[in-house]
Amino acid sequence: MTTPPTLSVRSLSVNFGSNRVVRNLSFDVYPGKTTAIVGESGSGKSVTSLAIMRLVEYMNAEITSGTIMFHRDANGSQPQDLTQLSDKAMRKIRGKDIAMIFQEPMTSLNPVYTIGDQITEVLMLHENHTKTSARAEAVKLLKLVRLSDAEAMLKRYPHQLSGGMRQRVMIAMALACRPKVLVADEPTTALDVTIQAQILTIMRDLQQELGMAVIFITHDMGWWRKWPTR
Ligand SMILES: Nc1ncnc2c1ncn2[C@@H]1O[C@H](COP(=O)(O)OP(=O)(O)OP(=O)(O)O)[C@@H](O)[C@H]1O
Ligand SMILES: [Mg+2]
């Protein structure tokens, strides 16, 4: 039996008013595999990832055609079309089953809360953690993304971290609920080459450990030379 794709996008179109910025896009993403979306600036990569998360409607855009089929697991469960789900149903999936690393770390980190508060909130919301167990899990996650002194990191605010640290915190948050699908929108573009390589290795290791399907968005045509294989 062949494994079905975790996510199957067919003929997806997204409009800002009458301006169609994503046109008839189709692709599949398989468990433990990476599908890259490569394109120049303004070609609709971020809008595509926000459509998958059903966040486009919060920015006055609309999915005007297509389907986004999500297969939670290979055997058993019926696939769901994310374009047809209610906002309430989508809130359960977002962050838990499908997580995203945003292009701009500051858009997903709230400047007024500590890193610890933000990670523990996700864990308490989706994973039924208590405050104490969520904190212990947050420390584990920060160690997983190789942030040293995880305990001290929990008490810091996003602006007190470097770009590379923020990016790793975002990865830790995205992975908190062991998602089936990770959408990584230019996760390393803003970072220097050494940190880029480290972060790609971390993502690659975690992908294999968790069997995640990864959508890797970049405008770097040579991205695959940097994606660690082993
Ligand atoms: N909030 C918005 N309102 C109106 N148009 C928008 C909005 N956000 C994006 N667009 C338009 O949608 C198109 C696609 O933008 P998108 O952000 O997806 O590009 P991108 O491929 O991610 O580019 P980059 O590589 O620079 O991140 C662009 O032409 C842009 O002008
Ligand atoms: Mg973008």
Task: For each of the domains in the chain, give its residue range(s) and CATH number, in order of start.
Answer: 7-225 (3.40.50.300)
Mean pLDDT (the chain, rounded): 89
Q: Whose CA is nearest to atom 24 of ligand 1?
A: 41
Which residue's C-alpha comes closest to atom 27 of ligand 1?
41
Classify 1 as helix, strand or coil.
coil
- Give the three-class secondary structure for 167: helix
Considering just the CA atoms, what is the radius of gyration of the chain in Å?
A: 17
Laid out side by side, the sheet with 7-16 consists of 19-29, 7-16, 62-70, 80-81
pTM confidence score? 0.89
> Positive or negative, the Cα torsion across 45, 165, 59, 79?
positive
pLDDT at 1: 59
Q: Look at residues 2, 7, 1 and name the one whose alpha carbon lies nearest to residue 29.
A: 7
151/165 Cα distance (integer angstroms)? 14
User: Tens digits of per-residue pLDDT, 178-227?
Assistant: 899 999 998 887 777 887 888 888 888 889 988 999 999 988 777 777 77
| Percent of residues, the chain, with pLDDT higher than 70 | 96
Distance 205 CA to ligand 2 centre (A): 24
- 148, 154, 158, 159: CA torsion to nearest 10: -80
- The best mutation among 12, 14, 16 to test binding of ligand 1, ranked by most ligand atoms within 8 Å of the C-beta, falls on 16
Chain segment 53-77, per-residue pLDDT in tens: 999 999 999 999 999 999 987 666 7
1 lines ligand 1 (CB under 6 A): no
Task: Answer whether 21 contacts ligand 1 (Cβ < 6 A).
Answer: yes
**Helical spans, DSSP H, in 100-162:** 105-108, 115-126, 131-144, 150-154
Q: What is the pLDDT of residue 25?
A: 98
CA–CA separation, 146 and 200 (whole Å): 12
Give the lowest-confidence range in 32-41, 63-72, 155-164, 184-193: 184-193
Dihedrals phi, psi of 77, to nearest 5 degrees: -50, 145
Percent of the chain with pLDDT over 90: 60
User: What number of other Cβ atoms are within 10 A of residue 43's Cβ?
Assistant: 14
